[in-house]
Amino acid sequence: MLTLETMYSMGHEEVVFFQDKSCGLKAIVGIHDTTLGPALGGTRLWPYATEEEALIDVLRLSRGMTYKNAISGLNLGGGKAVIIADPKNKSEALFRSFGRFIESLNGRYITAEDVNTNVEDIEHIFTETNYVTGVAQANGGSGNPSPYTALGVFRGIEASVTKAFGSRSLKGKTIALQGVGSVGFELSKLLAEAGANIVYTDVNENNINRMKEAFPNFKFVAPNEIFSVACDVYTPCALGASINDETIPQLKAKIVCGAANNQLKEDRHGLILKEKGILYAPDYLVNAGGVMNVSIEFEGWADSKSRRMVDTIYEKTLDVFAISEKQNIPVNKAADVMAEKRIEAMKSIKTSYLGKVDHRMPGQKRRF
């Protein structure tokens, strides 16, 4: 149950529930922290079993976005949205209705693509509000963020391998890839080009078939077998919390580095990984390529500009490892230290982002 005490304990500024019976819209927006700017985070569409499950997800994800945007050096706060629905029931009306609700927040929250939402869905939202990123390149946006998210994770893996093995090269390294959807598939391309060996799993038959066709030499294993694969890097690219009490004893990897959000089920699992000698790359840093990419839509998007920004994830990941080593703390805590230091420095000179009044004429588009 959501209470003001829950919001207080997790640091949230605002949680908003939206519904539109006409199109079946049931949505929750969590605005965690706007110290650094308007809250930016994607919209996840998922058939949650209960509203409480959806709420827990949006609270965790929005908080994660605050830390992701802060550690990435972006002038953006953290937020997230979830839509409770079966992906098969997506419609133009649902996303346009959602876009109208986003517009009513007056710029405190800017949305983007996430699990089970794509550029076409974003375009429907964009019809109703400017407070959305990742719109089609034809409309001045950056389009699909998956290649940039994948590039960031790839740089994180390179940094992790550098730390663990003393060389940036991935040639001959074995990667256990959990989830080969949009990001996982793009990451597979980069790993293949780098000469890595991939063992992968997924629950979606279309994703599995696409991998078999594109990479016939890669090995597929059942979802419950991926944790015990003997590998150099375990790379979670599906939903979160795959690092937990049940899976950690199975891990045979030297490194955990992937695209999934909230990979640690609980913070204490970061310490357990450290004690077992498994190097953990901070998920909200290495998977920040997508948000880095869409963030530059505000100033004018360009592929080269985006890739230069995403490339910085390599050095930032090494910086977090250095903090972890110097302070003798788990890597997840070291990442928090870096992010919180920036947020705290700004709190003394900024109050919450209150949004902008939009004076455009009806039907007139502008980008922030």
> Is 276 an annotated catalytic residue?
no
Q: In this structure, what token pair is assigned to residue 49?
A: 């079993």
Query: Which residue carries 């074995």 as its tokens?
Result: 174
Neighbouring residues of 145: CB distance < 8 A, sequence distance ≥ 6? 112, 113, 134, 289, 290, 291, 293, 294
Q: In this structure, what token pair is assigned to residue 288?
A: 């920040």
Return the DSSP state at 111: B
- Name the nearest CA neighbour of 199 among 182, 179, 175: 175
User: What is the Cα–Cα distance from 231 to 366, expressed in whole angstroms?
Assistant: 48
**21, 26, 68, 80: the active-site residue:** 80
| Packing angle, helices 146-165 and 313-327, rounded to 10 | 40
Q: Where are the beta strands (DSSP E) in the chain?
A: 14-20, 25-33, 39-40, 43-46, 77-84, 109-110, 174-178, 197-201, 219-220, 233-236, 255-256, 279-280
Biggest CA–CA distance in the chain, Å, is 60
Question: H helices of 72-204, where?
Answer: 92-104, 119-128, 146-165, 182-193
> Looking at the annotation, which residues are catalytic?
80
